[in-house]
A = this chain, B = another copy of it.
């Protein structure tokens, strides 16, 4: 249980109303009478009227939307997350090496390191203070992991990769597998040795089953504060700028350089050898085939229809060039009013 005044003492904000106690955080809709909820988006205001929550977090401008005990905060969503973190600290396994784990004799483990069941740590690896390596992980030879980082179960880090501080990697992710480099011999594929590494900055979180390949020559780089969701594929020699976030199932092909503060919707696919500027937002399902040099929001999504309607419409895409020519021919015959079309190139 936390008292609202204790929360405000730690996190700031203004307490309005009774200094009640809360046990947990919840949504407005699901909150029980000993829970704290939040209102970040005015469109959920009706839920505010109906909530059972003991108290709510909301913006200054929403001060009078409720009479419940409340905390006013500049960014209610962030504040709520911070309260949740106070109430729900991550479970930390005990420090020490589990009896079923295997650690190479020359690996260096700082104080507070925890190695779980059946994990193994290769020769020359260096683990910082309080690093947690959970069950079944493999930390390759020469890997370095900074203080307070955590690998969830069955993560694999290939040899010589570098992870910063407070990096979190979720289950079954792979960091440092060989990039997809093949030269054609005339008869088959010849594997190009992948001799770079993966370098990951501080405060990065990587989702489950995400894969990040090592560089072919030079390194694959993930800068500070990047957030990668699950099932993302990052190819060799990609560079991702700080605080960029990618939703699930995104793919980035080799040698593409992505700026800082970008966001990528789920299943977006970025081709190789491109440059994406800072503060670019790519919407879900969009395939990017050319560099994007200007901040903004970009999209290429095929609109959905009933199967019937799609059948009627989609086939015309295969003849769009012919339609454009027929339109031009008609305009030639009828006489065209260019001012109305907003188009000058065809």
Contacts and interface: CB of A to CB of B under 8 A. Distances in A.
Interface of A: 24-27, 30, 75, 77-78, 81-82, 84-85, 87-88, 90-91, 98, 100, 102, 116-118, 120, 134-136, 138, 140-141, 152-154, 156, 158-159, 168, 170-172, 174, 177-178, 180-193, 195, 203, 205, 207-209, 211, 213, 217-218, 224-225, 227, 229-231, 233, 235, 242-243, 245, 247-249, 251, 253, 265-267, 269, 271, 283-290, 296-307, 309-310, 312-327, 329-331, 333-337, 340-343, 345-346
A325 to B, nearest CB: 5
B135 A189 contact: no
Most buried by B among A141, A242, A321: A321
A121 to B, nearest CB: 9
SS of A interface (majority): loop
A285 B323 CA distance: 25
A240 to B, nearest CB: 13
18 contacts: A84-B192, A88-B195, A168-B191, A170-B174, A174-B208, A177-B208, A188-B203, A188-B242, A211-B230, A211-B231, A231-B251, A266-B269, A287-B301, A300-B301, A314-B317, A323-B324, A323-B343, A326-B340
A172 B154 contact: yes
A136 B134 contact: no
B310 A301 contact: yes
Contacts of A158: 152, 171
Nearest to A74: B186
B245 A182 contact: yes
Given A87-B193, A136-B136, A299-B307, 18 more contacts: A78-B185, A81-B190, A91-B159, A100-B100, A100-B118, A180-B207, A189-B225, A191-B205, A208-B211, A231-B231, A253-B266, A284-B289, A286-B302, A298-B307, A316-B321, A319-B343, A325-B342, A327-B327
Contacts of A159: 91
A209 B206 CA distance: 15
Contacts of A229: 180, 233, 235
A158 B28 CA distance: 26
A26 B218 CA distance: 8
A186 B302 CA distance: 33
A195 to B, nearest CB: 5
A288 B313 contact: no
B193 A81 contact: yes
